Amino acid sequence: MRKPFVAGNWKMYKTVSEARHLVSEMVPGLQAVSGVDKVLCPPFIDLLAIAALLEGTDIGLGAQNMHWEASGAFTGEVSPPMVAELCKYVILGHSERRAYFGETDATVNRKVQAALAHNLVPIVCVGETLTEYEAGRTNEVVFRQMKLGLTGIELPDGNALVVAYEPVWAIGTGRAATGKGANAVVADVIRVALAEQFGSQVSQEVRVLYGGSVKGDNAAEFFAEPEIDGALVGGASLKAPDFIRIVQAAAASQA
């Protein structure tokens, strides 16, 4: 039985004071839901303040990216030990990083290695673009991202890794995938790649999320699918009632 997992990817939104305000609005509602791993991923600059606000709660904290080196002359970058002092999770390989910041399967792989070496749980994002989707290349693209992103990786157990299937055409567009469509990619591609890399038992333990225009009113459709264990939420994670509703839907899917 995989525990549902819902993470909010705040992207480049919320100053420190805005972030503090949003988290104070969210904490009571999130704390009221049990049986779900709840994670907030604000911008780097907010992490210290939010870590303090989340102390003593069961809400996890994650970064949205990091460098693979532990330290060095890398102006503007943030290292795994810096993230690990404040966070348990780190989003890696988000499609916006791939599209706008030169992230490749090879850099994702280095970052996943580094995350695991520093006891961070990577949330590795994969997903096809609209052009790839329309050309019927979804499975091929997602399989390649999984294989190359996870090359050489070993896991102590399935809880050390989270994967997010995020079709790029569904991110921020209001055009979500269907539950059935996303479940098929997770079942036929992502879990197959996980099994090849980590063996069948671990492949069944890893939580696989869906991401792309998840909202309060469509979340249940995804959580009802057997191979989808939660959501990576962008836009709807910036409003306390919307994010809480999605977390509640994840809890309800277990009932």
Which residues have CB under 8 Å from 108's CB, separation 6+?
92, 93, 124, 145, 148, 149
Of 19-27, 62-70, 110-118, 232-240, the segment contacting ligand PGA by CB under 6 A is 232-240
Give yes or no for residue 141 binding ligand PGA (CB under 6 A). Answer: no
Q: Determine which residue in the list 9, 64, 183, 253 makes contact with ligand PGA, applying CB under 6 A.
A: 9
Asked if residues 111 and 122 have their Cβ atoms less than 8 Å apart, the reply is: yes
Query: What letters, b where the CB count within 10 A reaches 16 and e where it falls short, cover 149-176?
Result: bbeebebeebbbbbbbbbbbbbbeeeeb
Binding-residue pattern over the window 41 to 70 for ligand PGA, x denoting contact by CB under 6 A: ------------------------------
Q: Determine which residue in the list 62, 107, 234, 248 makes contact with ligand PGA, applying CB under 6 A.
A: 234
Of 53-61, 104-112, 194-202, 227-235, the segment contacting ligand PGA by CB under 6 A is 227-235
Report the alpha-carbon distance of residue 15 to residue 125 in Å, rounded: 25
Q: Determine which residue in the list 167, 212, 216, 230 makes contact with ligand PGA, applying CB under 6 A.
A: 212
Give yes or no for residue 216 binding ligand PGA (CB under 6 A). Answer: no
Asked if residues 3 and 37 have their Cβ atoms less than 8 Å apart, the reply is: yes
Which helix (H) or strand (E) segment holds residue 59: the answer is strand 59-63
Give yes or no for residue 92 binding ligand PGA (CB under 6 A). Answer: no
Q: Which is nearer to ligand PGA, 51 or 238 (CB)?
A: 238
Q: Which of 96, 103, 128, 166 is catalytic?
A: 166
76-82 LR contacts (CB < 8 Å, sep 24+): 78/44, 80/114, 80/115, 80/117, 80/118, 80/120, 81/118
Q: Determine which residue in the list 43, 179, 211, 216 makes contact with ligand PGA, applying CB under 6 A.
A: 211
* SS3 state of residue 230: strand
Give yes or no for residue 156 binding ligand PGA (CB under 6 A). Answer: no
Residue at shortest CB range from ligand PGA: 234
Positions in the binding site for ligand PGA (CB under 6 A): 9, 166, 171-172, 211-214, 232-236
